Structure 1
Amino acid sequence: MSEQKQIFVLSGQSNMAGRGGVRHHRWDGVVPTECRPNPSILRFSARCHWEEAHDPLHRDIDTAKICGVGPGMAFANALLPCLSDEAVLGLVPCAIGGTAIKEWERGSRLYEEMVRRARKAAELGGGGEIKAVLWYQGESDTTSHGAAEAYAANIEKLIRDVRLDLSLPSLPFIQVAIASGDKHYIEKIREAQLGISMPDVLNVDAMGLPLNEDNLHLTTEAQVLLGNMLAEAYAEHYLTTIDGL
Structure 2
Amino acid sequence: MKLKKGNILPAIVTMVLALPIGVTVGAFLEKSYGFKNILQGNFQTNYPSEITQINQTSIPQKYQGKLQLFILAGQSNMAGTGDLPSQPKQAETNPKIFVFGNDYRWKVAKEPVDDPTNQVDKISSDKPAGYSPALSFATTILKQRPDMIIGLIPCAKGGSSIHEWQRNGNLDENTLYGSCLKRVRAASTMGNVAGILFFQGEIDTVDPKEDPKRIFSANQWANKFTLLVRNWRGDLKSPNLPVVFAQIGSNTEPERFVNWKVVQEQQRQVNLPFSAMITTDDLALKDYVHFTTESYQTIGQRFAKAYLSLQK
TM-score, reference length from structure 1: 0.86
Name the % identity: 33
Which residue is 1:57 aligned to? Answer: 113
- Given the alignment of the two structures, is residue 82 of structure 1 paired with residue 144 of structure 2, yes or no? yes
1:231 to 278, 295, 304: 304
1:128 to 191, 205, 230: 191
- What SS does the corresponding residue of 1:202 show, helix, strand or coil? strand
**Cα gap change, 1:183/1:31 in structure 2, threshold over 3 Å: closer, same or farther?**
farther
Further displaced range: 58-67 or 44-53 = 58-67
| Residues 220, 266 of structure 2: 8 Å contact kept | no
Further displaced range: 172-181 or 221-230 = 172-181
Which residue is 1:30 aligned to? Answer: 86
Q: Distance in 2 between matches of 1:232 and 1:58?
A: 22
Cα displacement (A) at 1:33: 5.6
2:74 to 12, 16, 20: 12
Q: Which runs of 5+ in 1 are unaligned?
A: 22-27, 240-245
Further displaced range: 58-67 or 128-137 = 58-67
1:189 to 251, 263, 266: 263
Greater length-normalized contact order (CA 8 Å, ≥ 6 residues apart): 1
Q: Distance in 2 between matches of 1:46 and 1:177?
A: 25
Could you give the per-residue CA deviations for residues 67-124 of structure 1, whole angstroms, max 9, x where no partner exists?
Answer: 1000000001111122243x2100000001011111111026110011111111112x
Structure richer in strand, relative to its length: 1
Q: Distance in 1 between matches of 2:259 and 2:226?
A: 19
Superposed CA RMSD: 2.0
| Residues 29, 68 of structure 1: 8 Å contact kept | no
**Cα gap change, 1:128/1:238 in structure 2, threshold over 3 Å: closer, same or farther?**
same
Which residue is 1:203 aligned to? Answer: 277
Aligned residues: 228
2:153 to 92, 97, 102: 92
- What SS does the corresponding residue of 2:225 show, helix, strand or coil? helix
Q: Which runs of 5+ in 2 are unaligned?
A: 1-61, 209-215
Q: Distance in 1 between matches of 2:144 and 2:185?
A: 25
- What SS does the corresponding residue of 1:15 show, helix, strand or coil? helix
Which residue is 2:230 aligned to? Answer: 160
Aligned AA (1:116) = K
Q: Distance in 2 between matches of 1:29 and 1:79?
A: 21
**Cα gap change, 1:201/1:193 in structure 2, threshold over 3 Å: closer, same or farther?**
same
**Cα gap change, 1:133/1:31 in structure 2, threshold over 3 Å: closer, same or farther?**
farther
TM-score, reference length from structure 2: 0.69
Q: Distance in 2 between matches of 1:105 and 1:190?
A: 19
- What SS does the corresponding residue of 1:238 show, helix, strand or coil? coil
Which residue is 1:46 aligned to? Answer: 102
Further displaced range: 54-63 or 223-232 = 54-63
Which residue is 1:112 aligned to? Answer: 178
Aligned AA (1:133) = I
Could you give the per-residue CA deviations for residues 129-167 of structure 1, whole angstroms, max 9, x where no partner exists?
Answer: 111100000000001476211212111111111111111
Structure richer in helix, relative to its length: 2
**Cα gap change, 1:51/1:153 in structure 2, threshold over 3 Å: closer, same or farther?**
same
Q: Distance in 1 between matches of 2:86 and 2:176?
A: 29
Could you give the per-residue CA deviations for residues 176-212 of structure 1, whole angstroms, max 9, x where no partner exists?
Answer: 0001354421111111111111101110011111101
**Cα gap change, 1:224/1:32 in structure 2, threshold over 3 Å: closer, same or farther?**
farther
Further displaced range: 38-47 or 182-191 = 182-191
Higher Cα Rg, which structure: 2
Further displaced range: 178-187 or 5-14 = 178-187
Cα displacement (A) at 1:236: 2.2
